[in-house]
């Protein structure tokens, strides 16, 4: 697929912005208007990937000693449930969506963390992938407990400021904890800055914001699930992974993804990073990913 074909496809549906970089060079750009560049709008579950990087920064700084420690170290109230499986849940399980906690509609409760922790464990921690924003919100609560300030203030100092992200909105829960799963608003250019951090293995302008080791660990598929014959999808630390087999060649990439077509794609071996910002309905929300994969296939086939 050529860039001209991509632009035509992008214009047909409600994709607001789509940019692709090879290294530091922007090789494709479609921007519907200036607003998408400048105005922060919700990026939904890309929030999860940002929270994962914040946990990585805490590990780098020694504020979190071990992601395999049980979360009852942070939420001692778990011990009151006398549930051995609940006591097995670790930060690693929260990061990889393998806590086994039942998915519950915590957003309508008066105390989100309390509600999430009260959910039954329906699968042994580590055994089953179950995508659940509750896991991500517990990670945000841990960041707040460990830092002694808000998740956003920790992010401002150690992530947003180094990246030059100034225009963001981050909604809090009823207890004042910044929601960990779906509520950051960013503009397209700030999504690009976060994408470059991932592509450059945690570095920004010769500043190692998060260790390359954390990026390597975060992009590994800890849980893999076959979607189709020619691909394996997976999940790392709040990041999606994908391996496509095409004509005996493999294309591996990973990405942050939010509702309605928000994407940050990273293809390490090709030094490619792409960002899409959209207002797509559910049945079209994977369109940016499909378009991006078409491009990858055409590059590989050249």
Sign of CA dihedral 145, 151, 157, 163: positive
Nearest partner of 263 among 294, 239, 298, judged by Cα: 239
Please name each of the domains of the chain with its CATH number.
Answer: 3-301 (3.40.710.10)
Nearest partner of 17 among 279, 302, 199, judged by Cα: 279
> Do the beta carbons of residue 146 and residue 113 sit within 8 Å?
no
DSSP string, 1-31: --HHHHHHHHHHTTEEEEEEEETTEEEEEEE
pLDDT of res. 270: 94
Query: pTM, whole model, 2 decimals?
Result: 0.97
| 1-29 residue pLDDT tens | 889 999 999 999 989 999 999 999 999 99
> Do the beta carbons of residue 195 and residue 266 sit within 8 Å?
yes
| C-alpha R_g of the chain | 19
Q: Which helix or strand (DSSP H or E) is residue 201 part of?
A: none
**Residues forming a β-bridge with 272:** 22, 267
Nearest partner of 86 among 96, 76, 109, 146, judged by Cα: 76
pLDDT of res. 301: 55
Nearest partner of 85 among 128, 113, 121, judged by Cα: 121
| 128-148 residue pLDDT tens | 999 999 999 999 999 999 999
Nearest partner of 188 among 36, 46, 34, judged by Cα: 36
pLDDT of res. 228: 72
Which tokens belong to 185? 């608003």
d(CA 215, CA 293): 22
Which stretches of the chain drop beneath a pLDDT of 50? Answer: none
**Residues forming a β-bridge with 186:** 41
pLDDT of res. 18: 98
pLDDT of res. 300: 63
């Amino acid at each position: 697929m050529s860039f001209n074909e991509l632009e035509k496809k992008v214009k047909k549906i409600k994709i607001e912005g789509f940019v692709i970089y090879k290294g530091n060079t922007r090789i494709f750009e479609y921007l519907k208007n200036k607003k998408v560049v400048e105005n922060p709008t919700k990026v939904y579950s890309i929030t999860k990937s940002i929270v994962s990087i914040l946990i990585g920064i805490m590990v780098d700084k020694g504020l979190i000693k071990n992601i395999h420690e049980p979360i009852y170290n942070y939420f001692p109230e778990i011990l009151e449930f006398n549930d051995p499986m609940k006591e097995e849940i670790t930060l690693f399980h929260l990061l990889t969506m393998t806590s086994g906690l039942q998915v519950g509609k915590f957003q309508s409760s008066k105390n989100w963390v309390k509600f999430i922790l009260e959910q039954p464990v329906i699968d042994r921690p580590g055994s089953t992938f179950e995508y659940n924003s509750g896991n991500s919100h517990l990670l945000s609560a841990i960041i707040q407990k460990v830092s002694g300030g808000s998740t956003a203030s920790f992010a401002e100092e150690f992530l947003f400021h180094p990246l030059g992200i100034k225009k963001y909105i981050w909604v809090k829960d009823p207890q004042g904890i910044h929601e960990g799963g779906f509520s950051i608003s960013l503009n397209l250019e700030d999504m690009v800055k976060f994408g470059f951090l991932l592509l450059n293995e945690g570095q920004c302008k010769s500043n190692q914001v998060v260790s390359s080791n954390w990026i390597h660990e975060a992009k590994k598929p800890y849980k893999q699930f076959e979607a189709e014959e020619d691909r394996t999808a997976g999940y790392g630390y709040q990041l999606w992974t994908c391996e496509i087999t095409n004509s005996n060649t493999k294309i591996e990439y990973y990405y942050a993804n939010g509702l309605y077509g928000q994407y940050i794609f990273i293809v390490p071996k090709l030094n490619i990073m792409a960002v899409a910002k959209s207002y797509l309905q559910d049945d079209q929300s994977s369109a940016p990913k499909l378009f991006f994969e078409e491009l990858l296939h055409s590059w590989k086939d050249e």
